[in-house]
Structure 1
């Protein structure tokens, strides 16, 4: 019997054909497919500018650099996230702190953030940047975040690695009514894939230009930006210390093909999530709550077990059945690398309590109803074995 992953790509014949066409063409990288993908993604989201890069981690790093984050400055993020949401600050030499989660959405808590900001203002230690994470595909409370941004003056990055195609108050994520920029991930387990890849979308032309420069070694060939404009067509100048964070045309071709059917992928994910909601009613688990002002992209379907002490048994039992459930996430502040900086167990109790009980069930556009039934049967058996 085949295994069932918690998440995976759905690659179809037209995706393969799109990549093959690039392979048979003239440009494998730094060619015309990349700007086509960027323009199509920006249009889909409702943003002015998009920059495709090699990963969402690279996108977070570039966004922080473009905002001027550096040593002596501070970034805050949710502790319930992948480590990249915090590591991007340290790449810039800045310090990191965390905010506890909302016990319903598992996103960054507005109440906890408001209290932390008020205390930080009194101490003169307000954050320069906040990275808010749309966990599992569910948008954060962006209206409240925008109000806090206006009051305290921090820059705001939307880490939408989980939420491409999600809606918030009738607008697609990435339309940038609240954040300075939005970050997407195109890893194979995400809503659409480019193999590896990420993107930064923004309406801020200065931020966009900085990201574009830093993506490719800090080098420009644009004649109007050169100090020595009299040189020949071979000439380029490095204007900043940048990186090789470029996306290839192969990846962009796959992304373009996937983007054309992302609404179908999202519809299937939402159908499967609704089916889980219904079928899990008689299980001793808590299904994920959905905020009414948003529409999740359902990158993940995390359930909470009634008793955290059974999680290891349930996890192992499902994996023994070939069902590759996962846990999202170990709170970042409990990672050894961060505990060496002074963070400790008990610092963010809501995120820690969530982590102790959570289990992500398989959810992706290639999952069949029969696969889902198999997941549910295995889950029921594992839970009953613990009663």
Structure 2
């Protein structure tokens, strides 16, 4: 069985978790701030806060930027539903910006055109959430310039993209955004089992994020309504959530972070191997833009023509039938039953519609072998009905 993604756990990872199990703290101990600091140093950002999922991170990021009922958020339709759900949790309206036909990320041109129209109609977004699909950064600098012109905030959904770079900065530096979110789900670049990280350079936003992930509670006397009653004292000063990460998860994350660059290098090796073995096959392969160094969380190809008598659906089913757990990333969010009630018009998103008809995510993870890659290719090009005799 070949999954589309898989975690890589070694003995050092296991020992890191066991050390926490033997310690005095399983959660809310010293390892969490160590992990946060390590990610901050890696990305070149001032403040990082570990959370129990990227979804939680997106939610509190929206709240920290003041999102509320009646506000508008724009994001990419080609993403997991969490990229839009975080705005709905706050009572906001969600709309989508169609994707670029090359990168499958939010199109800067489409964003610009949509902003011009929204400005005339008085319907500008409060927050825009670009999604770094497959680990390749969106073109963030022009998006940032548009945010200065039209007055919206930016949350980078970098769930796929830790280990990647945009121009001269690491994804997560928040050079061209207000907040960046990472995911540490097992199929991502590094894992904490479940978990995520919220990054920002804004101290006021950082303080709010810190409180929101832990019930809205502060132990900082400068944030309290009166002097503390004693060293034990705390105050809940706003409505927050239990979105905290455990020390067990943070220990795994710290250990995994030591191999992050190694994982990304291996993913690039697999990317290049796919490019080599598919050079004579009529599949549209992913392209990497020169402004970004992708972490390559996903390897998305597009089936534009019949291959060996199969269309996209046929190839997907053939891969699955042969033990290759290909996947589709993603079904356009606006087409989900929950979102259909809000009246989106599919014709407004032609690139997303075309993408969804053709896209398949093939396996990519550090331990994927050359023989497995060859098997994936042979399965795709093998004609329907072909049987191998032994």
Report the TM range for the smaller structure's normalisation. Answer: over 0.9
Q: Secondary structure at the match of 1:285?
A: coil
Compute the displacement of 1:224 (Å). 3.1
> Of 233, 236, 240, which aligns to 1:235?
233
Find the aligned partners of 1:67 and 1:345 in 2 and give their Cα distance.
30
- How do 1:31-46 residues align onto structure 2 when only pairs under 5 Å count? 31-46=29-44
- How do 1:224-373 residues align onto structure 2 when only pairs under 5 Å count? 224-307=222-305, 310-373=311-374
Moved more, 115-124 or 371-380: 371-380
Q: Which digits, 9 at most, give the CA deviation of each residue in 1:84-115, with x for residues without a partner? A: 00000000111100000000000001111100
Q: Which residue of 1 aligns with 2:181?
A: 183
Query: Structure 1 residue 154 and structure 2 residue 155: aligned?
Result: no
Q: Which residue of 1 aligns with 2:89?
A: 91
Contact 2:282 2:305 in 1 (8 A): no
Q: Post-superposition, which runs of at least 4 consecutive aligned residues in structure 1 deviate over 3 A?
A: 382-385
Contact 2:224 2:237 in 1 (8 A): no
Compute the displacement of 1:279 (Å). 1.2
**Aligned-residue CA RMSD (Å):** 1.3
Compute the displacement of 1:232 (Å). 2.2
Compute the displacement of 1:383 (Å). 7.5
Compute the displacement of 1:234 (Å). 2.6
Find the aligned partners of 2:19 and 2:302 in 1 and give their Cα distance.
45
Q: Secondary structure at the match of 1:52?
A: strand
Find the aligned partners of 2:366 and 2:286 in 1 and give their Cα distance.
18
TM-score w.r.t. structure 2 length? 0.96
> Of 191, 194, 208, which aligns to 1:193?
191
- How do 1:42-61 residues align onto structure 2 when only pairs under 5 Å count? 42-61=40-59
Change (3 A) 1:313 1:196: same
- How do 1:62-211 residues align onto structure 2 when only pairs under 5 Å count? 62-211=60-209
Find the aligned partners of 1:242 and 1:145 in 2 and give their Cα distance.
30
Compute the displacement of 1:347 (Å). 2.6
Q: Secondary structure at the match of 2:374?
A: helix
Contact 2:162 2:189 in 1 (8 A): yes
Q: Which digits, 9 at most, give the CA deviation of each residue in 1:275-317, with x for residues without a partner? A: 1112111111000111111111100000000238711111111
Find the aligned partners of 2:119 and 2:222 in 1 and give their Cα distance.
42
Q: Secondary structure at the match of 2:311?
A: helix
Find the aligned partners of 2:27 and 2:351 in 1 and give their Cα distance.
45
Compute the displacement of 1:382 (Å). 5.4
Contact 2:185 2:191 in 1 (8 A): yes
Uncovered stretches (5+) of structure 2, i.e. residues with no partner: none
Aligned residues: 383
Q: Secondary structure at the match of 2:105?
A: coil
TM-score w.r.t. structure 1 length? 0.97
Q: Secondary structure at the match of 1:199?
A: strand
Compute the displacement of 1:225 (Å). 2.6
Q: Secondary structure at the match of 1:346?
A: helix
Find the aligned partners of 2:232 and 2:61 in 1 and give their Cα distance.
29
Contact 1:313 1:382 in 2 (8 A): no
Q: Secondary structure at the match of 1:51?
A: strand
Compute the displacement of 1:373 (Å). 1.6
Find the aligned partners of 2:284 and 2:313 in 1 and give their Cα distance.
17
Change (3 A) 1:380 1:101: same
Find the aligned partners of 1:122 and 1:228 in 2 and give their Cα distance.
47
Contact 2:277 2:374 in 1 (8 A): no
Contact 1:334 1:344 in 2 (8 A): no
Change (3 A) 1:194 1:381: same
Q: Secondary structure at the match of 1:133?
A: coil
Compute the displacement of 1:8 (Å). 1.0
